[in-house]
Amino acid sequence: MASVDATIIAIRVKPGARRPRVGGSREGAHGPALIVAVSAPAVDGRATEAALRALADAFGLRSSDVALRAGETSRDKLVAVTAPPESWRARLADLRGDPAR
């Protein structure tokens, strides 16, 4: 099995949301960021863990395909996705609301 290089994407986590949701885009500390709202509080890394799970679910990936790279205590985070881009890249564009690709 060939290894896949990680693709780094920026996310903006919104902890304490009424409903978990992945979608939308905003300018963040690392450039355009995908918004990930989670119901978990920003305590002891729970919101970060929930955001990584929500992102994996939204992309249809395994949790192990998504890992935090930077921003452990920040709402603005960098996430590494190690799955082949063709399996999730179009979904990312849809979730961000990117214009026609």
pLDDT value of position 41: 96
Q: What is the mean pLDDT of residues 4-19?
A: 93
Pick the closest to residue 25 from 99, 98, 101 (CA basis): 98
| Cβ contact 18:40 at 8 Å | no
Residue 64 has pLDDT above 90, yes or no: yes
Residue 4 has pLDDT above 90, yes or no: no
Q: What is the mean pLDDT of residues 6-11?
A: 95
Q: What is the mean pLDDT of residues 6-32?
A: 94
pLDDT value of position 1: 47
Residue 99 has pLDDT above 70, yes or no: no
Residue 34 has pLDDT above 90, yes or no: yes
Residue 81 has pLDDT above 90, yes or no: yes
Which domains occur in the chain, in start order? 7-96 (3.30.1200.10)
